[in-house]
Structure 1
Amino acid sequence: MSRVNDVGGQAGFGALEIEADEPAFHADWEARVFALNSALVRNGVYRLDEFRDTVERMAPQEYLAASYYERWLYAIEKLVTERGLLGDA
């Protein structure tokens, strides 16, 4: 079953634009999400493949509306909640 992020081999998305001076993070919160994910993986809370799968399981409309690090934050919240480390808000 193909997921919304699985676009390999598909056409019609237009040219790929690469910005030469693109910063790693556009906002401080993105760097924090990156660091948080790194710490959670390093401490065995979840594995990187679980994290990737969680990002890829996002509902298509949510996935397409979210930025790169918003998808990361979604996956972190979902995984730590599933493990009982974060209660439902």
Structure 2
Amino acid sequence: MARINDVGGVEGFGPVDTADDSEPFHADWEARVFGIWNALRGQQIFNLNEFRDAIESIPPREYLAASYYERWFLAISDLLERKGVLEPGELDRDELDG
């Protein structure tokens, strides 16, 4: 069964932006999510396959509405809850902005 991220050959998403973007992060919270991901991977809390699966498991509506690093955040939150590191809802997206 295809997941929402598997859009090969699907039309209607508009043109792909191929402009080079020299900035790796567009907001401080994105850099924090990347840092959290890096630290958790370093501690072997999850592996790349688990992370990829968590991103691909985001419900389609949420996946399409989320930015790149929002998807990372959702996947990390899901993995930490699944593994019992966090209680459900303990990591609130709004707290990343502060």
Please confirm whether the aligned pair reaches a TM-score higher than 0.5, indicating the same fold: yes
Consecutive unaligned residues of structure 2, counting only runs of 5 or more, are 90-98
1:13 Cα deviation (Å)?
Answer: 3.3
SS of the counterpart of 2:18? coil
RMSD: 1.4
Distance, in Å, in 2 between the alignment partners of 1:12 and 1:61 is 15
Distance, in Å, in 2 between the alignment partners of 1:78 and 1:66 is 15
Letter in 1 for 2:19: E
Output the TM-score relative to the length of structure 1: 0.90
| Equivalent position of 1:55 in the other structure | 55
| Equivalent position of 1:16 in the other structure | 16
Consecutive unaligned residues of structure 1, counting only runs of 5 or more, are none
1:14 Cα deviation (Å)?
Answer: 3.3
Distance, in Å, in 1 between the alignment partners of 2:21 and 2:6 is 27
| Equivalent position of 2:88 in the other structure | 88
| Equivalent position of 2:69 in the other structure | 69
Distance, in Å, in 1 between the alignment partners of 2:77 and 2:43 is 16
How high is the sequence identity, in percent, across the aligned residues? Answer: 52
Runs in 1 of length 4+ with deviation above 6 angstroms?
none
| Equivalent position of 2:93 in the other structure | none
